[in-house]
Amino acid sequence: MKKGFYLFCFGAVAVFGLLILGQVLLTQPAQAGPQEQQVPKELQIKPRHEVTVAVKLVQVYVTDKSGQPAGDLTADDFEIYDNNKLVPVLHFEKHFAEELAAALPAARPALNRKFFLFFDLAFTDARGLMRAKNAALKFMEKSLLPTDEISLVTYTALRGLTLHEYMTRDHARVRNIIESFGLKSITGRAENLSNFFYSDMLMSLQGDEVQTTPEDSFFTDQARLQTGQMLDTTRRQGYVDQARFYLDAWNNLAKVLRTVPGYKNIVLFSAGLAKQLLFGKTGGAVVGDWSTPEQLAAQMAEYDAAQADTGLRSDFSRLLKELKNSNCAVFTVDISRVNKEMDVEGGGGATPGARELDGADSLKQLASETGGRFYANTVNPENAMEEIVNTTKNFYILGFKVDESWDGKYHKVKVKIKKKGYNVYSQAGYFNPKPFKEYNNFERLLHLIEAALTEEPWPYVPVEIPVAGFSLVEKGWPMVLSFARASGEDLAEVFGPKTEAYLLIFNEKGELALIKKFKAVVSEKDKKENDAFLPSFLLPVKPGKYECALVMRNLDTGRTARGRAAFEVPAQLPVMPYLDPPLLLRLDDRAREINAGGEPTLASIYGYNPGTYSAVAGKVPPETRKLYAALRLACSAGWEDGLTVSAELSGNGGEPGRSLPVAILEKKREGQLVKLLLELETGEIGAGNYAVTFIVSGPSFAQPLKATSRFSL
């Protein structure tokens, strides 16, 4: 790589370095070495207290005297200062493109690169959008690593700020949405969830128009725009009003990104805000000699028009500070017309007044003050995107111990090289996480998106819980039943009087198809009397293959729990006689089922006593010697007479299945359904994944009916 390329990447004006403040919680010091793997998830400690011991991860770029990336350094060559205090390097990784490409398989960095593609569609014309679209598609196609996390954001006059996809490694999904710009509307998963959240919050705010903070006011306006409850007629009346709301959206986004671990590379496609609006008219205007009041009025009007809007200038300055505080580097791509000095359609050159409306200066300042780079409208946007990715591909990751207080305070960080002849580039600090009760509504929205859609959300690390999901027929309709088994003291701060449960259903393309929510209120008395809670959802779903995500979140503490399960809804309803999927049970008198008011519980659907049994979601206790199961058999009246049930247990090791003794403990008819409660003698079985197949026979059956349930031990 040429020296000149790295000179612009790491120049004194636009110092570029990634300070990724990852949150890898410390259990023991990591050994320094040429390259280390990510700290295993099983060694991470959930942040349940006001202070936790953690390792901050810092991603750093180093160049030698010639401006080339320096790949010969070890952990002993680095020094890290946290608030001017020297701290030991406890974690070390080196990730250089050539080495990663040669590795089989390539080691995944403890910190992934993060890119936010931000399309400003309010201050951009159709030509600019096409240039941005083509550049982004090339970026998605050729420039990314599989581990890169991508977010897709747009801003429009009618809808404000829209988060389409958030921190996903599913690059094909992001590319599909970008391809739809200007042709059709494809809604991203984060956008769907945001709209649901906005609608839900607006319903709770009805009758209360008092906004306590600017952030609350922004959220309410944004919610109304997103849900079509407020037309943006007022803001469209003036450029200044539109610019003010645009900067307001930017500032709120930048604040929210404080909670996102790692360094955020924001690629902004925009024509920028008018130079005169932020910086004033070149040369200004002078109030001079006048002889009539009319002349004075005209001079004063010209003077006023030449001044910058002090309010917007203040908002813009605040934005620069928020972006730097949130460890965001903004790479600005000017997608305004290339031939500004000669408008081919207009047949003349651009006037001085028109040049005052040019937005390049605002884009330049965004880039230079955040450590990014400005790409003029004369630069091919596709080449700009390739350079942005190349700038970030060679780096080190350093980790140091911190006593992390949940106070939201800022820490300064400085990284140095002990040897001479090297230059190191990094951002200046990080924020401690803050208590969830201090989050505003916009921050809570992003937290929900993280918990539901991202693999590694932070700082409120979710507890992973087993979830089951399957299709059954309820009152003649195809329905999906999904539930979780949430138990153990890890969930002590998840359940409470303000806990909410979400079910998100994704179709075969990974798109968010359905969302449902209810309040899962759990009192302190409930927590003392029960060891497990089973939130459940029952809802109609069209035929197809799906994956569901069940998320629970405590609105007081921010603690979350989540899990996923796959299921399929058949294209046609089964013909009687048939079996619905079995529900595995365990003896348990300290579990409580919770669901939306008015909906049937698991026990009522399957016909067992919830005071004696509770449902199993995927896992059974290791000491299990007996399994219990509930079956739903749809058949004509009288067919249950003489009915017999057998079961066969098979494992995933390829060993042949074996029969299990089965006893029918209960049998009762409810309409067209016969509900059975079974006991299975499994004996001692080792750890692993298993499937138990139930075979139901009887004198009236032409052939046996079969249904299978899977579990792990």
CATH 2.60.40.10 boundaries in the chain? 462-712
Is 211 a residue whose pLDDT tops 70? no
CA distances from 170 to 95, 141, 195 (A): 22, 12, 21
Helix (H) or strand (E) holding 417: strand 410-417
CB neighbourhood size of 157 (10 A): 15
pLDDT digits (tens, 9 = 90+) for 303-361: 455 555 678 888 999 999 999 888 898 999 999 876 543 333 333 344 444 455 578 88
pLDDT tops 70 at residue 234: no
Helix (H) or strand (E) holding 571: none
Write the pLDDT tens digit of every residue in 544-583. 999 999 999 999 999 999 999 999 999 999 999 999 999 9
Tell me which residue of 235, 274, 270 sits closest to 250, measured CA to CA.
270
Q: What six digits make up the tokens of 626?
A: 């007996």
Strand partners for 496 = 521
Residues 6+ apart with CB under 8 A from 388: 139, 265, 267, 331, 373
Record the pTM: 0.79
For 17-32, the pLDDT digits (tens) are: 333 333 333 333 333 3
Higher pLDDT, 677 or 110: 677
CATH topology of domain 462-712: Immunoglobulin-like (2.60.40)
- At the second CATH level, the architecture of 114-282+292-378 is 3-Layer(aba) Sandwich (3.40)
Estimate the crossing angle of helix 214-226 against helix 441-453, to 10 degrees. Answer: 60
Question: Is residue 36 pLDDT above 70, yes or no?
Answer: no
Residue 369 phi/psi, 5° resolution?
-85, -5
Q: How confident is the model at residue 198 (pLDDT cuts 50, 70, 90)?
A: confident
Delimit the CATH 3.40.50 region(s) of the chain: 114-282+292-378
**3-state DSSP assignment of residue 9:** helix
